Amino acid sequence: MKQVVWHGGHVSAEDRQRLLSQSALTIWLTGLSASGKSTLAFALERHLINAGRACYVLDGDNVRHGLNGNLGFSHEDRTENIRRIAEVAHLMNDAGLIVITAFISPYREDRAMAKRIIGSERFREVYVSTPIQVCEQRDPKGLYGMAKAGKLAHFTGVSDPYEPPEAPDMVIDTSLVSVEEEVERIAVLAQTIGA
């Protein structure tokens, strides 16, 4: 758009990171519904805050209450959901924060777009690989039950596809390890760029 011109500021991303004594990063959790993304994201946020890191969780359900309240679950809306989240994560990283995102983000192409928007040097993909049988048993929101009964269209793993990451930075199967262990493992990612 010709009439829209970027106006540069007087504070760099590096200035902000120095102020917060940390390196900004986005830890992108992807996986099926009930795989444990939100549980893990909020436990990790607590852990990082306790360790003196400034961080923030962008959670799928929470974001759909506000910013993305006008979006549904069609492929097109899921892509727009991820695009907006990635732009918000990018802004938060620019502000110096460590961002943890908890979105099913089922499409490889959408996650690649998120990585482009955020920047590959700040993007870490964590595949929450909990098997679908375990997710179905957990079913904390009763969604698998509804989808299997044909009452919920576009439900990932039942009536919509999930495309697993091909080269994630980390894989976590929450049916095998405790939340505490998962947090310890992922927290290492936040230290790999000299935070």
Ligand X SMILES: Nc1ncnc2c1ncn2[C@@H]1O[C@H](COP(=O)(O)OP(=O)(O)OP(=O)(O)O)[C@@H](O)[C@H]1O
The contact set with Mg ion (CB under 5 A) reads 38
Is 129 a catalytic site residue? no
According to DSSP, residue 167 is labeled S
Distances (CA, A) of 190 to 28, 56, 187: 12, 13, 5
User: Please, what is the minimum distance in Å from the beta carbon of residue 156 to ligand X?
Assistant: 8
DSSP 68-118: TTT--SSHHHHHHHHHHHHHHHHHHHHTT-EEEEE-----HHHHHHHHHHH
User: Which amino acid type is present at position 88?
Assistant: V
Q: Which residue lies nearest ligand X, judged by its C-beta?
A: 36
Q: Which of residues 104-143 bind ligand X (CB under 6 A)?
A: 104, 138, 140
Interaction between residue 17 and ligand X (CB under 6 A): no
User: Please, what is the minimum distance in Å from the beta carbon of residue 141 to ligand X?
Assistant: 6
**Residue nearer to Mg ion on the CB measure, 22 or 30:** 30
Is residue 97 within 8 Å of 56, Cβ to Cβ?
A: yes
Give dist(CA 131, CA 34) in Å, integer. Answer: 10
User: Please, what is the minimum distance in Å from the beta carbon of residue 146 to ligand X?
Assistant: 12
Q: Strand 123-128 and strand 98-102: pairing?
A: unpaired
Interaction between residue 101 and ligand X (CB under 6 A): no
Q: With residue 44 as reference, give the H or E element that holds it.
A: helix 37-50
User: Please, what is the minimum distance in Å from the beta carbon of residue 5 to ligand X?
Assistant: 39
Applying CB under 6 A, among 22, 27, 37, 155 the residue interacting with ligand X is 37
Catalytic (active-site) positions: 105
Chain residues binding ligand X by CB under 6 A are 31, 33-40, 60-61, 102, 104, 138, 140, 174, 177-179, 182
